[in-house]
Amino acid sequence: MSENLKRLTEQGVSIWLDDISRERLRTGDLQSLIRDKHVAGVTSNPTIFASALSKGDAYDPQLRDLVVRGVDVGEAVRAITTFDIRWAADVLRPVFEATGGVDGRVSIEVDPRLANESAEKTVAEARALWWLVDRPNVFIKIPATLAGLPAITQALAEGISVNVTLIFSLERYRAVLDAWLTGLEQARANGLDVSTIESVASFFVSRFDTEVDKRLEKIGTPEALELKGKAAVANARLAYAAYEEVMSGPRWQALRAAGARPQRPLWASTGVKNPEYPDTLYVDQLVTSGTVNTMPEKTLDAVADHGNIDGDTVRPHYEQAWNTMAALKQAGIDYDDVVRALEDEGVEKFVTSWNELLGTVESELGKAS
């Protein structure tokens, strides 16, 4: 069953699980996924934690302790989430060591309510999480909003490994690459060992199709409807083209000579939302070396069962991707408006999830008291 996943890793794609829970950790389920399904990393977000807390009793002992200590809900959330991240990081530590620090990574997000706040606030949050988790294989997730870009640079300059999240547009992705390069250059100038600073850039996939398909259906012409389900893969493929272009430039070559590691593209939001599309679409069509694909378990199982992993499906298709984007524009799709709407919605969804997480923790603390 895991032959497809093995082939995916052989193509240079790191498989990460887009989920975490105390139950998954205490039962050894994560360890099993590492052993049996080639999982080499974990990503988390507020929605995942809120879901984990609302199920089962795995958090009850810690919740009782937090009640006894009389902590507020904000401190409780940080205590609970960083506990899980530390545990997952320890489970993945052998992968981290076996891959020389490339994989075996676990991501935790800064408070999403800071997405449009000052860089100073976001960096302070990133430092706090870096210190609280205190594991070399943690990634601090910082959103790629305009306000987030200088925070990404500053965090990297201080030696904090960063997972840049919520990237939708090619223009913003180029800005992320610039922020990453600048951060590494500053870290090097600060005398830090740049070989120890890792980063990934999470380019969101399925949400792009969801938004574009909605607009294509509204346009309703045969030409528009023919383009449904094609925008997200094309957008992601062109992001990889931008990555290759930047990585062939002199800034990266100088950093590489100093021992720096590339900021790998990470395909995020790869669970297929439209049941009319193949459920492995955003894995099968985005296979190329030096990338990460973080999947919900349902998608992981689908790829293991019937994924079509057959060579590089990104680099040979740049021209097709450009043609798709040109056809979308001709059909009446405003790219800039699409990505603006997706970023605004993405931030709003994460803030909503964070508030739900706070509410869930508050409720669970009440039950434990």
Q: What is the pLDDT of residues 291-342, one digit of tens each?
A: 999 999 999 999 999 999 999 999 999 999 999 999 999 999 999 999 999 9
Tell me which residue of 39, 50, 33 sits closest to 14, measured CA to CA.
39
Residue 146, amino acid: L
What pLDDT is recorded for position 163?
98
Per-chain mean pLDDT for the chain: 95
What pLDDT is recorded for position 95?
98
What pLDDT is recorded for position 337?
98
pLDDT range class, residue 118, cuts 50, 70, 90: confident
Task: Quick: pLDDT tens for 333-368.
Answer: 999 999 999 999 999 988 898 898 888 888 888 887
Q: Residue 52, by phi and psi: left (phi above 0), alpha (psi -120 to 50) or beta?
A: alpha
Q: Kindly report the pTM of this predicted structure.
A: 0.96
What pLDDT is recorded for position 1?
53
The DSSP secondary structure of 58-106, one letter per residue, reads: TTHHHHHHHHHHT--HHHHHHHHHHHHHHHHHHHTHHHHHHTTTSS-EE
- CA angle 199-202-207, nearest 5°? 175
Does residue 369 carry a pLDDT above 80? no
Mean pLDDT of 136-146: 96
Mean pLDDT of 100-124: 92
What pLDDT is recorded for position 365?
84
Q: Which is it for strands 199-204 and 264-268: parallel, antiparallel or unpaired?
A: parallel
Between 137 and 113, the higher pLDDT residue: 137
3-368 under CATH 3.20.20.70, yes or no: yes
Residue 157, amino acid: A
Helix axes 231-247, 250-257, angle to 10 degrees: 60
User: From the centroid of its chain, how far is CA 31?
Assistant: 21
Q: How far, in Å, CA of 6 to CA of 173, rounded?
A: 29
Q: How far, in Å, CA of 78 to CA of 64, rounded?
A: 15
Does residue 112 carry a pLDDT above 90? no
Q: Please pick, among 37, 141, 230, 367, the residue that the annotation labels catalytic.
A: 141
User: Picking from 85-99, 102-116, 189-203, 220-234, which range would have the lowest pLDDT averaged per residue?
Assistant: 102-116
Mean pLDDT of 168-192: 98
What pLDDT is recorded for position 54?
83
Annotated catalytic, 329?
no
Tokens 């205190």 belong to which residue? Answer: 134
What pLDDT is recorded for position 56?
80
pLDDT range class, residue 53, cuts 50, 70, 90: confident
What pLDDT is recorded for position 321?
98
